[in-house]
Structure 1
Amino acid sequence: MAHILVIDDEELARFTIREIVEGYGHTIIEAVNGNQGLEKFRQNDVDLIITDIIMPEKEGIETIIELKREQPDLKVIAISGGGRTRNLDFLKLAGEMGADTILAKPFSSDELMSAVNKCLN
């Protein structure tokens, strides 16, 4: 099974993703922002990254760019609820910057696992 790094500043989002994905046998590593995510990526063997876009300290677009610069074939799923403005243009930009799949929050467990399976296969 895969080692998946989840980067999201919202504890409930990380918990929900962990509960869903671990139910399919994958291992989850968590980070609360892009800086911590990059650090954990460098310290662990990671098969897939699921990252939020709007976060404090280092946001998701910048994180995706750095991850892809270090490991171009790394699979990344970008997720976002659009922040306070509900602007989902950030997801489109994430796709242009290297995210392999994008998901708008809230998403179903089926949508999440479909994206995970697509990236891992």
Structure 2
Amino acid sequence: MIVCAIDDDPLMLRHLEEMLTGLGFGVMTAASVETALEQMKARHCDAAVVDILMPDRDGLNFILEVRKIRPDLRIVAVSGGGRIGALPLLKMAAGLGADATLVKPFSATDLGLALRPAATA
């Protein structure tokens, strides 16, 4: 399974890549929604882990865009929440089509479970 990890924070992106690799997933990374969408057109992936709060286009925009072109893609939305807290943002993400949500920080075990098809938002 190939997972696209999307986060504007380089340290978090590297951490996601390490967790996903440790779980046995193939990984491609993107520091922006735009880059992720471009990569997904060029290369197949089975799932995406997307941060909600990012500059320019955020994770909610990603969910809306990717659902148009890849309705089958498993999406795990993640957020630390910023000023308003993670739960309202993750609830919006689930409403837009995220298959699962996680509050930062989360464990590799939680991430692995969220990427399984049986997991729910």
On whether the aligned pair clears a TM of 0.5, the verdict is: yes
Aligned to 1:63: 62
Aligned to 1:106: 105
Amino acid at match of 1:83: G
CA apart distance, 1:108: 1.3
**Root mean square deviation, CA, Å:** 1.5
Q: Counterparts of 1:3 and 1:118 in 2: how far apart (Å)?
A: 14
Taking the TM superposition and a 5 Å limit, the aligned residue runs for 1:3-82 are 3-82=2-81
Identity value in percent: 34
Distance in 2 (CA, whole Å) between partners of 1:92 and 1:113 is: 20
Give the secondary-structure state (helix, strand or coil) at the position aligned to 1:88: helix
TM-score w.r.t. length of structure 1:
0.91
Q: Are 1:92 and 2:91 matched, yes or no?
A: yes
Instruction: Check the 8 A contact 2:50/2:78 in 1, yes or no.
Output: yes
**1:115 counterpart letter in structure 2:** A
**Residue-by-residue CA offset, 1:61-116 (whole Å, 9 max, x unaligned):** 01101000111111100000002443431110000000000001011121111112
User: In 2 relative to 1, CA 19–96 (structure 1 residues): closer, same or farther, beyond 3 Å?
Assistant: same
CA contact (8 A) 1:5 1:28 kept: yes
Task: Tell me how far apart the structure 2 counterparts of residues 76 and 12 of structure 1 sit (CA, whole Å).
Answer: 21
- Partner of 2:102, secondary structure, is strand
- What letter corresponds to residue 18 of structure 2 in structure 1? E
Give 1:117 deviation, angstroms: 2.6
Q: Is the 8 A contact 1:79 1:102 kept in 2?
A: yes
Structure 2 unaligned residues grouped into runs of 5+: none
Deviation at 1:119, TM superposition (A): 6.2
